[in-house]
Amino acid sequence: MAYRLIFPHSYIKRAKAFIRQHPELLKQYEKALLLLEHNPHHPSLRLHPLNGKLKGLHSVSINISYRLTIELIITEQTITLINVGSHDEVY
């Protein structure tokens, strides 16, 4: 069952800046989004809940250094993208 990805305006701005800064990651970023849409629990995404000020959000990996923070609402089959960037940038 596919999930519906929601791209808020604030996320789109961050994603455009991220790709501008890291064009070499475009294919990995797109692959992470496709996996997220089809199976957010895919092992390569390393989905995990966040704590502290980001409690209620989850993180998935683009690669070892870069992450997406997401709001995962499984009951409605929707995933809202919140942020994209390096580990330090998104946390």
Q: Could you read off the pLDDT of 26-60 as tens digits, one per residue?
A: 999 999 999 999 999 999 999 999 999 989 999 99
pTM of the model: 0.89
| CATH number, position 62 | 3.30.2310.20
Q: What are phi and psi of 42, to 5 degrees?
A: -60, 135
The three-state secondary structure class of 83 is strand
Question: Domain total for the chain?
Answer: 1
State the Cα–Cα distance between residues 18 and 41, nearest whole angstrom: 24
The three-state secondary structure class of 80 is strand
Query: Domain range spanning residue 59?
Result: 4-90
Query: What token pair was written down for 7?
Result: 């791209």
Q: Is 11 exposed, middle or buried (0-12, 13-18, 19+ CB in 10 A)?
A: buried
- 62-87 pLDDT, tens digit per residue, is 999 999 999 887 677 899 999 998 88
